[in-house]
Amino acid sequence: MTATVFYQIAVMLLLVLVGWALSKGGKLPDTRTLGGYLANAALPATIINSMQVQVSTELLVSMGLTVIGFLVLMFSGAAVGFFVGRLAKQPTSVAATWGALAAFPNIIFMGWPFKYAAFGEPAIPLIPGVGLGFTIGCFTFGIWLLSRCGTNPSQVSLKKLLLQPIILSCFAGTIIMLSPANLPGPALATIEMLAATTTPVAMVIIGSLFAKCNMREVFLDGKAYLASFTLLVPAALAAHFLFGLFIGDEMISGFLTIGALMPAATILPVIAAEQGGDALFCSKVAVLSTVMSAATLPLLLPLLI
């Protein structure tokens, strides 16, 4: 498990380095196009791809419990992050960004290798549930939180949120999953290829954002370290405690706990940039929490799983 931790962290940081080098070399002057591709093509494909599973009553029950578990993780993380942000004397609008960072760990992309190492093939049917919970939560509640620190927070509307391609893909994926027919081979292959680009593109975008700022300021930002610690330890421990109150299935509880221990989701800086929020601070926490997880994961995983 420890080897898996360091392997995944190394991959993430190398992808960040690629984005940094491309931006510094003038090959990636603007990440808005990449951000649009990520939110409107790669992520929707990831959701639909994760829902290509055989439907059964047991699967639907597990999915429902996993979705509920993620919502508990999301709201408890947001509360812990917001509370710590306010303790750090941040304005309410800024503390909301702290809440978003603690509410949405990298539960899907970075978390899966750890879940597979712990539970193996039986954990695969849980992916659609956590994917649905993360996507719907991140692109509704997460956008609302990140936009509080944005330039036009009042422009975020429920109708606009629900009509996003990523949200529509959740409905489409559910319909396809429940349908007796399968997707045609070429369509499924296309979706799989698009889905495979999600994490690399997200990390390259973060690297590009870093290239535009003073690196000394990034690694000497005490608030970013505090926000990262809040996500990795108190928010994760709070979620684990709450899971134990209503989830009797050890695999589902462990699956969600591993997700809660992950660093900040790499999509958050992209969302913050689109909403006029603090994309730089989100990028700092995404990278710093990934580095810090090299210490927190080996310590906490054996204790909680």
Q: Is 84 in contact with 231 (CB distance < 8 Å)?
A: no
CATH 3.40.30.10 is right for the domain spanning 2-20+42-304: no
- For residue 154, the model assigns a pLDDT of 46
For the entire predicted model, the pTM comes to 0.83
Which amino acid is located at 169 in the chain? S
Domain chopping of the chain, boundaries: 2-20+42-304
- Per residue in 60-72, pLDDT tens? 888 889 999 999 9
What are residue 264's DSSP bridge partners?
105
Kindly tell me the burial class for residue 303, based on how many C-beta atoms sit within 10 Å of its own C-beta (0-12, 13-18, 19 or more). exposed
The pLDDT tens digits along the chain (305 residues) read 567 777 877 888 898 899 999 998 988 877 778 888 888 898 889 888 888 888 888 888 888 899 999 999 999 999 999 999 999 999 998 999 999 999 999 887 666 666 766 777 777 778 888 888 898 899 889 998 998 875 555 455 667 767 788 888 888 888 888 888 888 989 999 999 998 898 888 888 888 877 877 777 778 899 999 999 999 999 999 999 999 999 988 889 999 999 999 999 888 988 888 888 898 899 899 888 988 988 898 889 888 87
- For residue 151, the model assigns a pLDDT of 52
d(CA 221, CA 219): 6
Give the CA distances from residue 185 to residues 64, 182, 190, 191, 192, in Å, rounded to whole numbers and listed in that order.
Answer: 28, 9, 9, 10, 11
- Per residue in 11-45, pLDDT tens? 888 988 999 999 989 888 777 788 888 888 988 89
- For residue 28, the model assigns a pLDDT of 86
What are residue 105's DSSP bridge partners?
264
Q: Is 114 in contact with 5 (CB distance < 8 Å)?
A: yes
- Where is 57: in which H helix or E strand? helix 57-87
- For residue 242, the model assigns a pLDDT of 96
d(CA 236, CA 271): 22
Give the CA distances from residue 174 to residues 53, 165, 229, in Å, rounded to whole numbers and listed in that order.
Answer: 10, 14, 35
Torsions phi, psi for 214 (to 5 deg): -75, 115
d(CA 49, CA 26): 34
Q: Helix or strand or coil: residue 149?
A: coil
- For residue 296, the model assigns a pLDDT of 92
Give the CA distances from residue 289 to residues 72, 99, 134, 282, 298, in Å, rounded to whole numbers and listed in that order.
Answer: 21, 14, 19, 10, 14
- For residue 109, the model assigns a pLDDT of 65
- For residue 231, the model assigns a pLDDT of 96
